[in-house]
Amino acid sequence: AKQQGRGLLRFFSPEMTQRAKTRLRLEADLRRAIERDELLLYYQPQVDLPHRKLVGLEALVRWRHPQRGLVPPGDFIPLAEESGLIVSMGEWVLRTACRQIKHWLETGIAPQQTAVNVSAVQLSHGSLVERVQKILDETGIPPQRLELEITESFIMADSEQSFTSLTELRALGVRLSIDDFGTGYASFGYLQRIAAQKLKIDLSFVRDMTTNSSNASIVRAIIALGHSLGLNVLAEGVESSEQADYLLALGCDAIQGYLISRPLPVDEITAFLVQARG
Ligand code: C2E
Ligand code: CA
Ligand code: CA
Ligand code: CA
């Protein structure tokens, strides 16, 4: 017992206890965030190459914490995934994005599609398909206006439930996009099984593509792979026109990044949509 006690003491070092407390508080805050209307969606444009015509948007969640201010998703999505909160949070994101799409359709400025990020945890949960179906029914938007971004890393989990869900989602008519491509180990066979429409090259490869020849080779290979599977290939994290020109030369179909626009709150992205139409 004495030994065990010492072990516990070592385990709960003062910093650990502090970290655990902060984490618990954040988790409790996050649990209330949805009810208290503290979550909001930002939207980032996706444009085609070479014309830079708007082809879609990606919805990115933000948390306006009463004390901490605007918290980026990297600081709370992992916590939401570990605690299971991601399921209800993900449903909120889907419903909010679909209601927004409906609103843009009614005002005649809706982009072809709006993408929503779906966590591997949501996908393996099993209830995702029914939730998406319910939200499509509620809002009445055409399913092809909604795109779901699934990270490549989910494929490594190799869950049959996830594959079944993806097949059913495709049957509903929603579009699928493979996110963060190049960071996982998806095989050709898996990619074929998913039947996505789009492949997004992870921004880590795009970042120093113009100066790092091995990253340039990876980007070139991903574009070739995507095209051989009949997928639309989009590069994310494009910040310079040099990168955009390079991607155009490699035959990339579309780009997303600060060069075009940062993610914007609803009123600003709506103004962007109005302008893009005019
Ligand atoms: P992601 O899906 O790969 O999203 C792209 C991230 O890159 C976004 O960060 C975006 O703001 C950022 N970004 C866009 N253009 C540029 C650029 O030109 N340069 C650089 N350096 N970054 C750029 P954000 O919004 O902080 O989101 C981070 C991650 O959090 C997302 O990565 C996604 O994995 C996750 N996430 C965001 N919203 C949601 C959501 O609603 N549900 C789930 N499950 N995950 C989400
Ligand atoms: Ca994404
Ligand atoms: Ca990504
Ligand atoms: Ca990412």
For ligand 1, atom 13: residue with the closest CA: 237
Ramachandran quadrant class, 108 (left: phi over 0; alpha: psi -120 to 50; beta: rest): left
104 phi-psi bin (left φ>0, alpha ψ -120 to 50, beta other): alpha
- What band does 155 get if pLDDT is binned at 50, 70 and 90? low
Judged against a pLDDT cut of 90, whether residue 182 lies above it is answered with: no
**Ligand positioned closest to the Cα atom of 44:** 1
Give nearest CA residue, ligand 1 atom 8: 60
Pair of tokens at residue 17: 């206890």
Instruction: Centre a 10 Å sphere on the Cβ of residue 132 and count the other Cβ atoms it contains.
Output: 24
Which ligand is nearest the CA of 45, by number?
1
Task: Note the pLDDT of residue 163.
Answer: 85
Tokens of 110: 């809706």
C-alpha distances in angstroms, 81 versus 2, 78, 84, 261? Answer: 36, 5, 5, 28
pLDDT at 22: 81
- Mean pLDDT lowest for which of 8-17, 120-129, 167-176? 8-17
Q: pLDDT confidence of 1, banded at 50, 70, 90?
A: very low
- When the pLDDT of each residue in the chain is averaged and rounded to a whole number, the result is 90
Distance CA 231, CA 223 (A): 9
185: tokens are: 């180990």
Q: How far is CA 50 from CA 156, 197, 210, in A?
A: 34, 19, 18
- d(CA 33, CA 63) in angstroms, rounded, equals 8
Ligand 1, residue 119: give the atom nearest the CA: 44
**Collapsed DSSP state (helix, strand, coil) of residue 258:** coil
Q: Is 239 in the pocket of ligand 1 (CB under 6 A)?
A: yes
Q: Report which DSSP code applies to 76.
A: T
Q: What integer pLDDT is reported at residue 69 of this predicted model?
A: 92
Verify whether ligand 1 is closer than 6 Å to residue 139 (CB atom). Answer: no
Q: What are the tens digits of pLDDT across the range 49-60?
A: 999 999 999 999
* Span from the CA of 17 to the centroid of ligand 2 (angstroms): 33
Tell whether ligand 1 has an atom less than 6 A from the beta carbon of residue 111: no
* Interval between CA 102 and ligand 4 midpoint (Å): 27
Q: What is the ipTM of this complex?
A: 0.98
Q: What is the pLDDT of residue 7?
A: 55
Whether 63 contacts 39, CB under 8 Å:
yes
With tokens 């035959």, the residue in question is 251
> Distance (Å, rounded) from C-alpha 176 to C-alpha 187?
17
Alpha carbon nearest to ligand 1 atom 2, residue: 117
